[in-house]
Amino acid sequence: MASGEERVLHGVGASPGISIGRAMAVPRHPVQVAYRPLQDQTEAEAEVTRFEVALQATHDDLATARDDLSAALADYSYIIEAHLLILKDRMIKDRTAQIIRQQRLNAEWALSQAVSEAKVFFQKIKDDYIRSRFTDVEYVTDQVLRHLSGQEGSALSAIREKVIVVAHDLSPADTTQMDLDWVMGFVTDMGGPTSHTAIMAQAKALPAVLGLERVSLEVKSGDFLIVDGSAGVVVINPDDETLHYYRDKQEAYELYAQEILAQAHLPAETLDGHPVDVGANIELAEEVGMVLGYGAESIGLYRTEFFYISQKTTPSEDELFHNFRAVAQRLGGRPVNIRTLDIGGDKFASSVDLAPEINPALGLRAIRFCLKEKDLFLDQLRAVLRASAFGRVRVLFPLISGVEELVQAKELLERAKAQLVRRGQSFDPKLETGIMIEVPSAVAIADLLARHCDYFSIGTNDLIQYSLAIDRVNEHVAHLYQPLHPAVLRMIQMVVRAGHQAGIKVAMCGEMAGDQRAVPLLLGLGLDYLSLNALGIPRVKQMVRMTNRATWQKLAKRALSFATAAEVSAFMDQELRRHFPKVFSAEPAK
């Protein structure tokens, strides 16, 4: 079958499953940006007008793409809505016009300069989700540049045979041009698990491996590919042995996927009768329908930063309230945990002006920022409280490092309640409060923090980063980011014990909660709730139903006895294959 030497590439498994077939390579035609000085202010104003015309044309293209979404993808229109908002962002629109006028440069060059400035801010962001949103800025501005230069995009509408699409990247507008019935999977240089390509692939259950950096240069149309979206592996021109192995694995996965999807709405309860709430992490209200379709029993984490990075002005209390209320009502009695603003320092916000910081990851962010900007915080707290009259709403405070911060946050919550009482506005007076456990100091005093809140939620992304002193953005040390590090496992155990001794529940909402391989171990450590990205919910619920918690409590003790992450990983590989042979199997020997 192979037409050349077999090559194996490793990227980000963004949508699970296995596809085997021919590649369709999408040619990349980067826009050529010319430098052209302008003669006078009159010419500059004409150039601003030309830029505004290109913005409107791009807006019209995106609106058409949104309206053309099929019924199956209608719940994902929020992706294109976000792109429409980017066109209005002052960091792009206003800054480009400013450069044209002040530096008297052509629109293409000014826009490219504005995007470069925005990229500097995004590269400092530690949060994967927010950082990955810069690709959306690039998609949108690339379309504006094409309108300015008169260049056309790729012709994807011509796909009329079963193919695996290989591209540098794909925008929402690109995916709307395709007839996805002919697409077997996606492989791209760019993107990650939260990118729009991943979301679209997940929506159509198409395997996707992203973030391969140079795959669009290494694969040509007609190459035979294997795409393993579960493992993040792409095999180019496989030999017969590899092809046979992956055909068997593909058949086994498809049977397993049918089984778990059919059972997605069943409760998640272990074999020995222990119920586990499996919820979803969301960024936008429009995602609620999607996550419920995947079997979410709650919204374990509702990030609120989007309101502060997608518009030119700080959102009002009423804007926030209407959104939070809509989410609570759509959930039909299921709980939603609304995390207060986790922004500042390394987070980019077009509507909140912050002074530069030498070390933003350890600076004025999250609860620290909110305790300083009390009026902004009170607006959000009142909005959450008002929404609590319409559903099971809880409030979640991020990055708590000590009791003082939590006490101050709760005092402001009480002030917000008093303000609503004076207004005569309804809210749930027993609104539950939780805290994110994300820093080592919170782990060390979890027993003290538990006296002042109703539940814990472990944010493993930051906890691992801060505990192991690892910057995941830094390619030189990113490999040391190890969720199975003994220190991380011991911290999880400490938090669970402190919470349970105080009679409160303990959740996890970091990426580790969505790792199917980690789920049995997390149950063994005593986690009560897991919250993750939508696509992983059926698999995680199925894994919960296949797990005997008592057995994994014993195995968790053994896992905690190892000295290195490598030892824990090897132990987990062995036990997962032994207890779940249907799900986990060894990779082919080469």
SS3 267: coil
* Residue type at position 575: E
**Those residues with Cβ within 8 angstroms of residue 414's Cβ, 6 or more apart along the chain or in another chain:** none
DSSP letters along 133-148, please? THHHHHHHHHHHHHHH
**Which tokens go with 454?**
């109703």
> What backbone phi and psi angles, to 5 degrees, belong to 482?
-130, 100
List the beta bridge partners of residue 337: 394
In 3D, which of 552, 560, 557, 553 has the Cα closest to residue 578? 552
Give the span between the Cα atoms of 143 and 92, in whole angstroms: 13
Name the residues annotated as catalytic: 196, 509
Give the span between the Cα atoms of 247 and 555, in whole angstroms: 33
**Which tokens go with 509?**
């909402």
SS3 9: strand
Give me Rg for the CA atoms of the chain.
Answer: 25
Compute, in degrees rounded to 10, the torsion defined by CA atoms 521, 525, 527, 532.
-30
Give the span between the Cα atoms of 456 and 507, in whole angstroms: 6
Give the span between the Cα atoms of 335 and 391, in whole angstroms: 7
Give the span between the Cα atoms of 183 and 23, in whole angstroms: 10
Residue showing tokens 């294959």 = 577
**Those residues with Cβ within 8 angstroms of residue 284's Cβ, 6 or more apart along the chain or in another chain:** 78, 82, 306
The neighbour count for residue 21, using CB atoms within 10 Å, is 15
DSSP letters along 409-457, please? HHHHHHHHHHHHHHHT----TT-EEEEEE-SHHHHHTHHHHGGG-SEEE
Helix (H) or strand (E) holding 393: strand 393-397
**Those residues with Cβ within 8 angstroms of residue 447's Cβ, 6 or more apart along the chain or in another chain:** 498, 501, 502
Give the span between the Cα atoms of 184 and 201, in whole angstroms: 10
